[in-house]
Amino acid sequence: MDRDAALDRVERILDAITGERLPVPVRECWVYGDVALGKDPITRLDVYVTKDLLLGGDPAPDLDAELGVEGIGRTVDAEWAREHPEWVRVNDSGHVAPEKCLAAHLLPEDEPVHLEVCNAGFERNVTQRAEGARARENYEQVIDPRGVCLYAEGQRSDDALAKLRDGALAFPTLEEALGMLGFDEATAADAAEAMRAYEAAQEGTTVRGDVV
């Protein structure tokens, strides 16, 4: 993916987060991995958003019935669903899936972009996932800790975005970054290899929801 195109996509995501009604509130937005490192082209664009719970929402059984789903008004905003029924997405049990709805709103379906959605902030989730991966010796889902915060608590950082465009940010190697999370040298090398292989096998737009 061309770097300029990736950063244009990031800017459009920030525009949506700061200026549009979303299915759920978003508290943070980060980018991580290749785009943070200044690579060009990049294998995939990795975006992380922290979502808040939908508070004060009322059930919308009329919309549930109309769209053949469950959970509108409880897990995603009912007004958003009325405005964008084409972006309503569900999990395997037919319940509205906030992470999939966010992906449908924020991303096209044909670009190599991964959206990671969690209730916890980026730094906390990076640590939690690393600890879990070491315990299970399964490293594919470790989040690359080399990230850049572009939006947090209602504030957008155009300065950070400008630095990304200029390639002005410096990060350690992936193995070194994993070492800072407590991986020993051999385990960091194994984890980095697994993470790269997993990412290389992904195609198109992907989304993962996580709860910490």
Per-residue pLDDT reduced to its tens digit, 61-117? 999 999 999 999 999 999 999 999 999 999 999 999 999 999 999 998 889 999 999
**Distance of alpha carbon 162 from the chain centroid:** 20
Distance separating alpha carbons of residues 59 and 80, to the nearest angstrom: 13
pLDDT at 168: 87
Copy the structure tokens of residue 198: 């997993």
Pick the closest to residue 106 from 204, 25, 12 (CA basis).
Answer: 12
Q: Can you give the length of the chain in residues?
A: 212
Per-residue pLDDT reduced to its tens digit, 20-38? 999 999 999 999 999 999 9
Q: Which residues contact 57 (CB under 8 A, 6 or more apart)?
A: 73, 74, 77, 78
